[in-house]
Structure 1
Amino acid sequence: MTHSSSLTLHWIIDPLCGWSYGALPLLQATATAWPQQNVLHSGGLFVGYSRRRIDANWHKHVQEHDARIAQLTGAEFGANYREQLCRDQSVVLDSLPVSSAMLSLQQQDFTQALALLTAAQHAWYVDGKDVTQAKVLDELATKLAIEPALWQQATSDTAMQQAMTAIEQTRQLMAQHGAQGFPSLLIQRGEQYSNVPVNRFYGAPDALVAQLQQWLNA
């Protein structure tokens, strides 16, 4: 593996973005190949004024996208998600609860942050559980054996405020380096950033790692 201390892989995702869910195996692959050098960023797809209630239009929109995501990435969309969650008009799409917990945990331990993201996306997209709800997230934290004091910190108002600031900075980072949409992957070496076309590697995590190694060794 290439271990350059100045190498950082910036993964810009959103927990409630289907394409980010489809890209999860890619993120897991780079985390295995470069365990110390991945950073998770939340793009804040549904935060602040972008939050929205699930309705018939949204349901139709995601149905089409999810079919395409499943086809290209092999991602699983469970029956509870398709038949229940996507039709539940009491659910408000809000990326902040998962994002802020993930970003807060990452300050202590990237592995735990990635585990939470993985569990939250599985809960949402496979089990059809509403991960915008504190109760659902608390259950995931218990399953992941996250230390209670750490979890309390990760779900605090302070963590939420810090996450909003971080999301703003992430949007600036994307604008500066021409990253569009979620997921995006920016590789940073020293002061230089390269934009990796993640969509070319859907369903092929090994190919992404091989390509990155080739670039990094060049």
Structure 2
Amino acid sequence: MMTQATQFTLHWIIDPLCGWSYGALPLLQATAAAWPSQNVLHSGGLFIGYSRRRIDADWHRHVSEHDARIAELTGAVFGENYRQHLCRDQSVVLDSLPASAAMLTLQQQDDGDALAFLAAAQHAWYVDGKDITQPAVLSALAADLAIDTGRWQQASSDAAKKQATQAIEQTRQLMAQHGAQGFPSLLLQRGEQFINVPVNRFYGEPAALVKQLRQWLSA
């Protein structure tokens, strides 16, 4: 039975293909370490459905500017293969759904695997320059994480993608209800009350975020 002190949920709203979500990974990992059972991952669906787009020169210019800012504020590392190759590969279609569906399904199975998978997917994309929209790339990550074959088949199935699409719509409604804008967003829920945590104030300072959350939770 949950005690009064543990009756809360930390709703992390991210996207695997969002650079700012990548920069916020240490914050997410810190709250997950502090409260392993209270963290819930949500995908915002940055590139799904009609929002999917092919990498082109305009996108490359746009994302390069943001990546420089993300690196400056968060300390996130963007690898040479990502910057010089993946970001210039105009055959790549930006699609958040495959990685999002796998992450959300793994969360239903085991919270730790979901966060480990997210971290591996982000590293593959932003550091190694691997195209995580491709099933073979995601399957290789799952194998590296020793995720059981049966569980992975479920996480990468069409049914998982359909369920994820519905979950993303619910997440967008949650964001609209509580004034969360963009990715990453963090909502602290206690009962029916939600606090919209200003994640941007804590980039590069995971310990400060945990400290602030502890203060709010003890109030």
SS in 1 for 2:12: strand
**Counterpart amino acid of residue 29 in structure 2:** Q
Residues 55-96 of structure 1: per-residue CA shift (max 9 Å, x gap): 000000000000000000000000000000000000000000
Shift in Å at residue 3 of structure 1? Answer: 7.1
Instruction: Tell whether the 8 Å contact from 1:3 to 1:34 is kept in structure 2 after alignment.
Output: no
Aligned residues: 217
User: 3-state SS of the aligned residue for 2:109?
Assistant: coil
d(CA) in 2 for partners of 1:10 and 1:47?
21
**2:149 counterpart residue number:** 148
1:14 paired residue number: 15
Classify 1:82/1:3 alpha carbon distance in 2 versus 1 (closer, same or farther; 3 Å): farther
Q: Which runs of 5+ in 2 are unaligned?
A: none
Partners of 1:79 and 1:159 in 2: CA distance:
32
Q: CA deviation at 1:5?
A: 3.8
Output aligned runs, 1:39-188, within 5 Å: 39-188=40-189
Distance in 1, matches of 2:63 and 2:138, equals 23
Listed one character per residue, the Cα deviations across residues 149-175 of structure 1 (whole Å, up to 9, x for unaligned) are: 000000001000000000000000000
| Distance in 2 between residues matched to 1:68 and 1:109, nearest whole Å | 33
Distance 2:206 2:77 in 1: 16
How far is 1:53 from its partner? 0.1
- Kindly provide the amino acid, as one letter, of the partner of residue 46 in structure 2: L
Mapped partners of 1:27, 1:112: distance in 2: 14
* Pairing 1:28–2:29 present: yes
AA of the residue aligned to 1:140? L
**Is the contact between residue 5 and residue 218 of structure 2 (CA under 8 Å) also seen in structure 1?**
no
1:19 and 1:3 mapped to 2: Cα distance? 33
1:188 is paired with a residue whose SS is strand
So what's the TM-score if we normalise by structure 2?
0.98
Give the corresponding residue for 1:213.
214
Aligned to 1:107, what secondary structure does the other structure show? helix
Is contact 1:13-1:20 (8 Å) kept? yes
Question: Which runs of 5 or more residues in structure 1 are unaligned?
Answer: none
What SS does the corresponding residue of 2:168 show, helix, strand or coil? helix
TM-score (norm 1): 0.98
